[in-house]
Amino acid sequence: MTVLVLGGAGYIGSHAVDRLVEKGYDVAVVDNLVTGHRAAVNAKARFYEGDVRDQAFLDGVFDKEDIEGVIHFAAFSVVPESMKKPLKYFDNNTAGMVSLLEVMNKHNVKKIVFSSTAATYGEPKQIPIKETDPQVPTNPYGESKLMMEKIMRWSDEAYGIKFVALRYFNVAGAKEDGSIGEDHHPETHLVPIILEVAAGERDQLAIFGDDYPTKDGTNVRDYVHVVDLADAHILALEYLKAGHDSDAFNLGSSTGFSNKEMLEAARKVTGKEIPAKMAPRRAGDPSTLIAASDKARKTLNWQPRFDNVEDIIRTAWNWKQTHPAGYNDRNEEK
């Protein structure tokens, strides 16, 4: 039996494929490479280039492969872009989910593990954020993901397709041997941007806002290592295989780091000065996002190995130093 990973050429998906292969699973990957990289996909996984919204293509993959469950990473995820181009997000993300569930149902595949996000909660009413807290997204990206969660819920009700929605907080880091890592273009995430400055590729870091009601005025986020995150997907798939009902889990560390603290940690890890300046707030940034993640630890028996941000940054720095041009496959799209 095979695990199908949609979006398996992307940053998080490629780490999940890698961990699945390491743990002995048979893996197939679907990715249209719009932001992903063919070279990121573990050579032991079968690769199908195509779009999740293309039902005829997906149908062909499900015909060829004996799929026991899917893990769905394929989506766009840049918040500011989603504010300007919401329909691009509802089309790729939300319509992509409809297409995938149609094909899963047709082929009687009834298990899906899904990349959801803290962005589905919007501005939290309380910290840490619990899975049962209200989900009121403040941008189209978060809305598109919340809609995907809701579509799965109704598909469970109607067709018995069981799902686990994993709501990630801030994902960073790379495989420890530095063979795969984060390569987005343009890059928008804090950790890789800090490391671009450390590597001399950018002049300085712009810290978006220092007047938030936090310990030092900068935003506070909860960082989780990409390989720990990947492992949670495998646990979630096994949870569904064991016959459990659909559910949602936060994935974070339950600890918050401010943007200034992240900068200091990166200075320590890299030994570089990393110039930084204060800049205006970025639209739509919640002040503080910290997960209550005890549910995943208890219910899925998730045991993250990276519990401090310096170790997370160290693995990202290792990837950056060994792959200064990322996967070196940039075209105009990525």
Parallel, antiparallel or unpaired: strands 257-258 and 220-221: antiparallel
Minimum distance of ligand NAD from residue 271's CB (angstroms): 26
Is 239 one of the catalytic residues?
Answer: no
Question: Which of ligand UDP, ligand NAD, none binds 282 (CB below 5-8 Å, type-dependent)?
Answer: ligand UDP
C-alpha distances in Å from residue 192, one per residue of 144, 289, 333:
25, 19, 19
Measured from the CB atom, is 189 or 297 closer to ligand UDP? 189
CA distance 169 to 232: 13
Measured from the CB atom, is 272 or 282 closer to ligand NAD? 282
Q: Looking at the DSSP assignment, which residues form a beta bridge with residue 325?
A: none
Choice among 48, 89, 141, 223 that is catalytic: 141
Q: Looking at the DSSP assignment, which residues form a beta bridge with residue 166?
A: 115, 249
CA distance 266 to 260: 10
Measured from the CB atom, is 24 or 186 closer to ligand UDP? 186
Instruction: Say how many Å lie between the first and final Cα of the chain, rounded.
Output: 33
**Is the preceding omega at residue 128 within 30 degrees of 0, hence cis?**
yes
**Is the preceding omega at residue 186 within 30 degrees of 0, hence cis?**
yes
Minimum distance of ligand UDP from residue 189's CB (angstroms): 4
Question: Which of ligand UDP, ligand NAD, none binds 75 (CB below 5-8 Å, type-dependent)?
Answer: ligand NAD
Question: Which of ligand NAD, ligand UDP, none binds 13 (CB below 5-8 Å, type-dependent)?
Answer: ligand NAD
Minimum distance of ligand NAD from residue 245's CB (angstroms): 23
Question: Which of ligand UDP, ligand NAD, none binds 92 (CB below 5-8 Å, type-dependent)?
Answer: ligand NAD
Three-class secondary structure of residue 331 per DSSP: coil
Measured from the CB atom, is 156 or 285 closer to ligand UDP? 285
| Catalytic machinery residues | 141
